[in-house]
Chains A and B, each alone.
Chain A
Amino acid sequence: MNSLWQTLRTGLLTRSLKKLFALPAWAPGWPVLRPEGLSRAVRRELLELCPSAAFAEEGDEFRLDLAKCVLCGRCFRAHPQAVGELRTLEVAVARREDLVQRVDLATGSFVDPGPPPPTRAELHLPTLAFREVSAGNTGLDDTEVALAGNPFHDMSRFGFTVVASPRHADALLVSGPVSQNMREALLRTYEATPEPKGVVAVGNEAISGEVFAESPQVAGGVDKVLPVDVYVPGSPARPASILHGLLLLSGQARQALVGGRVVQEGRERARTAPSEAGVRKDG
């Protein structure tokens, strides 16, 4: 009786996508380059300041790789004129290049990687079953995948379930930089998954290897081992971003980041509203 009362009192915990995709005010956003502020001195300081080597300069190009960012916020706090803040959780992309901001220093503008490719139509299904494989992950990306199924996020309302066997799965969620010791197990799990099958790389460790990239004990990213359909950045990837990645894979959401930025009609949006196009209406 008590439990029944408690259940009624708790009410509905599940949040709408719009609420889920809003970054809490106290969390730092993603860095986004401002080409006009990138003087030689500032660039050198940014390269030195970043503890995870997310910035890189090569010839006439200055790059910021969001998949190497640990979201510490040091860069935009120290150099607000050169680095802005991108406050969105809709960060899943179908193409690795869409997590990298490239500035051509000669022209002082962003390099446009072209329109993002669509995700595979054969995986645009009303329901998708996933098998999670942790391959050298700290364990937190896995926890975040599990939390995407909690009452607040409730991924099952979009037709997503996590299943026990790869034989029952439509796609793999892979976290971690793929340790040498997990490589074979990951490949065999992939082989055991029936066609058509997708792969989602969850978290920065799974995309770029992040701080483990230089270790000889890891492959340095899932796409070094398997073809990847969707990349979900984050350190670890947040449940809302994972949800966005799954929606992208299943064709229920569109990609918001192009070339590492949110671009709309040639103009950047400071705060991003969740993409409505293609998203199923929810409670």
Chain B
Amino acid sequence: METLKQVLGSGRLVALWYDAPHLHYLVEGSEGAPPQEFRVEARKSFPSLAEEFPALDWFERELWEEHGLVPEGYPALKPLRNHHLPYPFERVEGLHEVPVGPVHAGIIEPGHFRFSVLGERIIHLELRLGYQHRGVERLFQGASLERALLLAERAGGESVAHALAFCQAVEVASGVEVPPRACQLRRVLLELERLFGHLGHLAGLFTDIGYAYAATQVGKVRALLQGQLERLTGHRYGRNALTVGGVGFDLDPKTQLEVRRALSELAAEAEAHLFAALKHPMVLDRLRYVGPITQAQARLLGLVGPAARACGLGRDLRQDDALYQPFTPVTRTGGDVLARAQVYIEEVRQGFAYLDRFLSELPTGAVSAGGVWPLQEGELRKAFSRVEAGRGELFYWVRLRGRRVEQVKIVDPSFKNWRALELAVRGMGLPDFPLINKSFDLSYAGCDL
């Protein structure tokens, strides 16, 4: 326990999950070092560390709710996804409360935000999520690999990243080798998903500040980019494209060339619009100093992905991926909406460069590992995997028995990043909330599971 505290103090929590009768803490220390796993036996309760390490907060509430394990010493337990239990909101004496949601004004997923405001200024925000809870993790229990893959594709907002993280975990657990061509094709899909995701929220940011021209142009590039993902996989979001052991599609040289050419045109167009937009004084004025997060806060909450990189925390799992070498994570130091927008834009540029590289030198060979399934009936295997999704680090842990999934733990990047929103809006004007929310681009479904 003491070593765990020490490592948590200097490192970052990746995931906390329960594989009865042990709690598993996965903590990443200094950069480059493989994450350390700590096991703590827990049958009815476990010592709470949330007060000391706020990154553990939602994980501990989740354990209490899902497995009935009581975190001893947790200040005030509240449900996370179970709406049948009473939920007392934090109240600030003398302030006006503005409840927003679960049904929002835009076309987005549901969630409830309780603002405590003084005039227009937000003093405090409390999130209440769980509206999207579909019991995904429980549906995995006993599912065949094919069905589990469908569930993974629908667990959060990023189909490819979720499918990839699930497949990788199963492949590590079972020892299935993925052929090099499939590995690279998977990265192509992952980058395409990241790019149209990023372009989508950039278009959203421009809409929110009333810059309709840029929003339309960026939206157009996004739509055409999505068309290229469909061109490759037959699905607009890349579903059904990945399989355990490889990918379910192949590219002929003609398509490869055409997609590459189309992408380089789109890259030029994105470049022109995005960089022009971020030179516009009105745009800069509207985004700068809005919704700031300090680096210390980001560390404390254990933020991941573009939100963390916009605070100067240069961690990107692609650093560890041999196919991306050399790789330098995009970082900015401002921590505000502008810094996050800059990270998105720079990553779009970076993503286009990697796509071009992946599509120009595609290894030849099979796209799927053939042969028989290596595990015997009833053979037990466990493994975890991590993928740098567009929103940040995505974690999957699986326990397999033969060809069936016995248990999974999914940690969507949004699960770690939602709390940042509560801190980012403090002291900001209420009308800026949509802008700040959009800049984090959080998935409700991925968090609620």
**Residues in chain A within 8 A of chain B (CB atoms):** 2-3, 6-7, 10, 13, 24, 26-28, 51-52, 70-73, 131-140, 142-147, 150-152, 162, 164-166, 176-177, 179-182, 185, 189, 205, 210-212, 214-218, 235-236, 238
Q: How far is the CA of A242 from the CA of B213 in the complex (A)?
A: 25
Do the beta carbons of B445 and A212 come within 8 Å of each other?
A: no
Residue interface mask B127-147, A partner, CB < 8 A = 1: 000111111101100001011
Shortest C-beta distance, B318 to chain A (Å), equals 24
Question: Which residues from A are CB-within-8-Å of B110?
Answer: 133-135, 182, 185
Q: How far is the CA of A223 from the CA of B234 in the complex (A)?
A: 30
Q: A2-B276, A7-B213, A147-B223 are in contact. Are A51 and B147 (CB under 8 A)?
A: yes
Question: Which residues from B are CB-within-8-Å of A137?
Answer: 109, 132, 445
Do the beta carbons of A181 and B130 come within 8 Å of each other?
A: yes
Q: Does any Cβ of A come within 8 Å of B126's Cβ?
A: no
Q: A134-B110, A139-B444, A146-B107 are in contact. Are A215 and B216 (CB under 8 A)?
A: no
**Residues in chain B within 8 A of chain A (CB atoms):** 81, 83, 102-103, 105-110, 130-136, 138-139, 144, 146-147, 149-151, 154-157, 159, 200, 213, 216-217, 219-220, 223, 227, 230-232, 234-237, 239-240, 276, 443-445, 448
Q: What are 17 A-B interface contacts by the 8 Å CB criterion?
A: A26-B231, A52-B147, A138-B156, A139-B108, A139-B109, A144-B236, A147-B223, A151-B219, A151-B220, A162-B107, A177-B134, A185-B102, A185-B110, A211-B139, A211-B151, A212-B135, A215-B138
Do the beta carbons of B230 and A181 come within 8 Å of each other?
A: no
Do the beta carbons of A142 and B219 come within 8 Å of each other?
A: no
Question: Which residues from A are CB-within-8-Å of B102?
Answer: 182, 185
Question: Which residues from A are CB-within-8-Å of B220?
Answer: 10, 13, 150-152
Do the beta carbons of B150 and A217 come within 8 Å of each other?
A: no
Q: How far is the CA of A134 from the CA of B415 in the complex (A)?
A: 19
Do the beta carbons of A138 and B154 come within 8 Å of each other?
A: yes
Do the beta carbons of A216 and B157 come within 8 Å of each other?
A: no
Q: How far is the CA of A217 from the CA of B132 in the complex (A)?
A: 10
Do the beta carbons of B139 and A212 come within 8 Å of each other?
A: yes
Shortest C-beta distance, B174 to chain A (Å), equals 18
Q: A138-B445, A142-B109 are in contact. Are A133 and B103 (CB under 8 A)?
A: yes
Q: Which of these, A139, A150, A189, A215, contacts B443 with CB under 8 Å?
A: A139
